[in-house]
């Protein structure tokens, strides 16, 4: 599939099969890269591909590369143009995942960020559901703690720190769960392996604050906004103890890849009725309507690809 696709590599659009890095590349050896995950949604009725909150993702990408001291010759506006041109060249008529990636490309041995060459690439692939499940997720609290911001920047999407997520995700799978929930070092709920988490408690949404080592998700921000404007539901950002998970009325996780996924069991305990709850159902519907361009109020979040 990738052989038929075009990507952006070394300041040019090239076949994916020609975009290669050497085995000594610094980012490959030391995890000195950063990335974004961006979704674009195909709407057959209008024959249009909509990129969701593109500039918000690119601003977060800029923050991540600043953390890693990566300098690129591209403004956010230029990166946006590259993204749209990339999707047009691939002529997608399906939902798509886009990944910009900035990295240290020097081929040498030595742990550092300074005095290294920076590089950039962007690729896109057809992409459906991140987690395939019917009727909601069964999740387990991981024995692996979420990376602490003073150990590695939790609010940046750095390639190297995703080994933390990989350990938690595989532990969950081996233990028979669909996903994991990671705690902070002091035992507060942080996030899933690649998703933010929300609890429905007493008619409000409750979600961990930025200080509990979460990634500041674009989808998280979207949910907070549409919960208030579409459903009249307020969101409280506060630390959440593990045992609060078991007593929640509803739980769901969200992220660009995951979108909005209901959680019906935590540590083998049913959440609420053990079925997908009404608040989660309403948020899933609103979210999917918005990203497919069916709600005029949020058109500013969408960047159309085809003219």
pLDDT at 1 over 60: no
What is the average per-residue pLDDT within 1-13? 87
**Consecutive H or E run containing 59:** helix 54-67
Residues 24 and 45 grouped into a single domain: yes
Q: Looking at the predicted structure, is the pLDDT value of residue 145 above 90?
A: yes
User: What is the per-residue pLDDT across 193-222, written as a single tens digit (0 to 9) for each?
Assistant: 999 999 999 999 999 999 999 999 999 999
pLDDT tens profile 109-124: 999 999 999 999 999 9
Written as one string, the DSSP assignment of 224-293 is HHHHHHHH---EEE---BHHHHHT-SEEEEEETTTEEEEEEEETTEEPTTSS--HHHHHHHHHHHHHHTT
Asked whether residue 69 is domain-assigned, the answer is yes
Name the least confident of 1-10, 216-225, 233-242.
1-10
Is the confidence at residue 3, as pLDDT, over 90?
A: no
Q: Which domain holds residue 232?
A: 137-291
307 occurs within a structural domain: no
User: What average pLDDT score do residues 67-85 get?
Assistant: 97
**The whole model's pTM is what?**
0.95
204 and 260 co-located in one domain: yes
**DSSP one-letter string for 87-120:** HHHHT--S-EEEEEEEEE--B-----SSS--EEE
Domain count, the chain: 2
Angle at 215 between CA 221 and CA 60, to 5 degrees: 75
Cβ atoms within 10 A of the Cβ of 259, count?
21
- Residue at 166 is within a domain: yes
Q: Which of 157, 169, 228, 285 is catalytic?
A: 157
Alpha carbon separation from 193 to 140, 178, 299, 306 (Å, rounded): 11, 11, 30, 34
Q: Is the pLDDT of residue 2 over 70?
A: no
Residue 32 to residues 63, 107, 149, 231, Cα–Cα distance (Å): 14, 12, 16, 41
> Looking at the structure, do residues 161 and 50 belong to the same domain, yes or no?
no
Q: Is pLDDT of 98 > 60?
A: yes
Is residue 109 in a domain? yes
Answer yes or no: do 86 and 157 share one domain.
no
The DSSP element (H or E) to which 143 belongs, if any, is: none
pLDDT for residue 223 is more than 80: yes
Note whether 149 and 286 are same-domain residues: yes
Q: What is the mean pLDDT of residues 76-103?
A: 97
Q: What's the CA gap between 305 and 163, in Å, rounded?
A: 33
Task: Name the band, by pLDDT with cuts 50, 70 and 90, for residue 129.
Answer: confident
Is-contact 252 260, C-beta < 8 A? yes
Residue 2 or residue 144, greater confidence: 144
Residue 48 pLDDT grade (very low, low, confident, very high; cuts 50, 70, 90): very high
User: What pLDDT was estimated at residue 26?
Assistant: 98
* 287-298 confidence digits (pLDDT tens): 999 999 999 999
In this predicted model, what pLDDT tens digit does every residue of 80-92 receive, in sequence order?
Answer: 999 999 999 999 9
> pLDDT at residue 100 above 70?
yes
The yes-or-no answer on residue 157 being catalytic is yes
Judge residue 132's burial from the number of C-beta atoms within 10 Å of its C-beta, 0-12 exposed, 13-18 middle, 19 or more buried.
Answer: exposed
Domain assignment present for 299: no
Check whether residue 151 and residue 287 sit in a common domain: yes
Measured between alpha carbons, how far is 96 from 63 in angstroms, rounded to an integer?
24
Quick one: what percent of the chain has pLDDT higher than 90? 96
Look up the CATH number of the domain holding residue 278: 3.20.10.10
Which CATH number does the domain housing residue 75 bear?
A: 3.30.470.10
Q: Give me the pLDDT at residue 128, please.
A: 79
- Domain-embedded: residue 132: no
The C-alpha angle 128, 132, 135, rounded to 5 degrees, equals 125
Shared-domain flag, residues 155 and 286? yes
């Amino acid at each position: 599939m990738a052989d038929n696709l075009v990507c952006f590599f070394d300041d040019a659009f090239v076949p994916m099969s020609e975009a290669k890095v050497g085995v000594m590349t610094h980012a490959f050896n030391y995890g000195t890269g950063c990335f974004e995950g961006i979704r674009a949604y195909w709407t057959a009725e209008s024959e249009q591909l909509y990129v969701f909150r593109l500039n918000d993702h690119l601003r977060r990408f800029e923050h991540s590369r600043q953390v890693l001291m990566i300098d690129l010759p591209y403004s956010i506006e230029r990166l946006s143009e590259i993204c749209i041109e990339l999707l047009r060249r691939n002529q997608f008529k399906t939902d798509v995942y886009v990944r910009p990636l900035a990295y240290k490309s020097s081929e040498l041995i030595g742990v550092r960020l300074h005095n290294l060459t920076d590089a950039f690439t962007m690729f896109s692939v057809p992409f459906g559901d991140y987690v395939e499940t019917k009727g909601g997720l069964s999740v387990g609290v991981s024995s692996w703690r979420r990376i602490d911001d003073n150990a590695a920047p939790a609010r940046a999407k750095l390639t190297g720190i995703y080994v933390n997520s990989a350990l938690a995700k595989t532990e969950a799978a081996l233990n028979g769960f669909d996903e994991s929930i990671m705690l902070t070092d002091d035992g507060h709920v942080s996030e899933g392996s690649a998703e933010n988490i929300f609890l429905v408690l007493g008619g409000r949404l409750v979600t961990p604050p930025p200080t509990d080592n979460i990634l500041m998700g674009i989808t998280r921000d979207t949910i907070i906004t549409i919960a208030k404007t579409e459903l009249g539901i307020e969101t409280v950002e506060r630390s959440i103890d593990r045992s609060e998970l078991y007593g929640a009325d509803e739980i769901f996780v969200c992220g660009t890849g995951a979108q909005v996924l209901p959680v019906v069991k935590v540590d083998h305990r049913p959440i609420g009725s053990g079925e997908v709850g009404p608040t989660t159902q309403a948020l899933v519907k609103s979210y999917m309507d918005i990203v497919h361009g069916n709600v005029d109020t949020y058109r500013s979040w969408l960047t159309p690809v085809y003219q």
